[in-house]
Amino acid sequence: MIADVLMDAALDSVKMLPFLLAAFLLMEWLEKYSGEYMNRLLAKVGHAGPLAGALLGCVPQCGFSVVAANLYAGGIITPGTILAVFLATSDEAVLILMGNPGRGREILWLLAAKVVIGTAAGYLIDTWIPERHSYEEDMERICADCGCHGHTHEHGKGHVFQAALHHTVSVFAYIFVFTGILNLAIELVGIEKLSAVLMGDSLLQPLLAALVGMIPNCASSVMLTQLYLSGAISFASAVAGLCTGAGLGLAVLFRMNEDKKESLKITGLLYAAGAVSGVVLSFFG
């Protein structure tokens, strides 16, 4: 049985490879050739910050939440703007869905939901928390740790293909491992029982998914997406978890922002926005 499960996981994962590589090539190209422009645009949008942050955040690239964390730590953007970026950040979930033909409508719904949630939450938070802009900050110093000025990857300066290949292999490994575990669980207990264990048809499921999404690693996005594709969690729960999944943005925020209580507040607001949005979406099926 284990051999069959592993074989199925391998076949399912291999089918996605061409789509993943193509998607990561596009992501790396966008990050290399438009990343600096987008980063500087975010720093100058003023009161349009939450809307701009949500729209820019949903563009598939891996470092935008990190950039936002640095800009916020430097006093360049508002709390609502960084929250909008975190909530809307597009990560491996979109690319995995792209690797499954016929999921185009779901990708659009997911991105639309994240942009709306990010924008609404961002403006709401900016009405409660005072601005802390400091446009005089030296952009070179603020961006020194995030690489948003002339961004490069550790695994190959300027080499779009190598970077895309690196990401593809990494995500492929996560997909293979988790698909194997998921297939084994379905084989042993069935999809209905697995969904019940994950609080299926319960308002608690989005709360749990939002908590999982906060793990600062792409494994959480892979896990949530695969659970959604298998039918173990609802679309609302997937949205909740993928909204709180800000990649390494939270880790960088805690590292760069001197006010740790403020960072904790942003973290709590991120979880609350994702969880509440998931619960609300649950009522719409």
Cα distance between residue 241 and residue 218, in whole Å: 12
- Is residue 258 packed enough to be buried (19+ CB in 10 Å), middle (13-18) or exposed (0-12)? exposed
- Distances in Å between the alpha carbon of 270 and those of 31, 233, 239? 24, 21, 13
Give me the residue label for tokens 């973290």. 267
Cα distance between residue 77 and residue 42, in whole Å: 8
Full pLDDT tens readout for the chain, 285 residues: 788 888 888 887 888 788 778 867 877 776 676 656 666 766 666 678 899 889 988 876 656 788 888 888 888 888 999 999 999 987 778 888 888 878 889 999 999 999 999 999 999 999 887 655 444 444 444 444 444 444 444 444 457 788 888 878 888 888 888 888 888 888 888 877 777 777 777 889 999 999 999 987 777 888 899 999 988 899 999 999 999 988 778 888 998 888 899 999 999 999 999 999 999 999 986
Domain ranges of the chain: 2-282
pTM: 0.78
Cα distance between residue 224 and residue 234, in whole Å: 10
The C-alpha angle with vertex 194 and arms to 193 and 197, in degrees rounded to 5, equals: 85
Cα distance between residue 69 and residue 262, in whole Å: 12
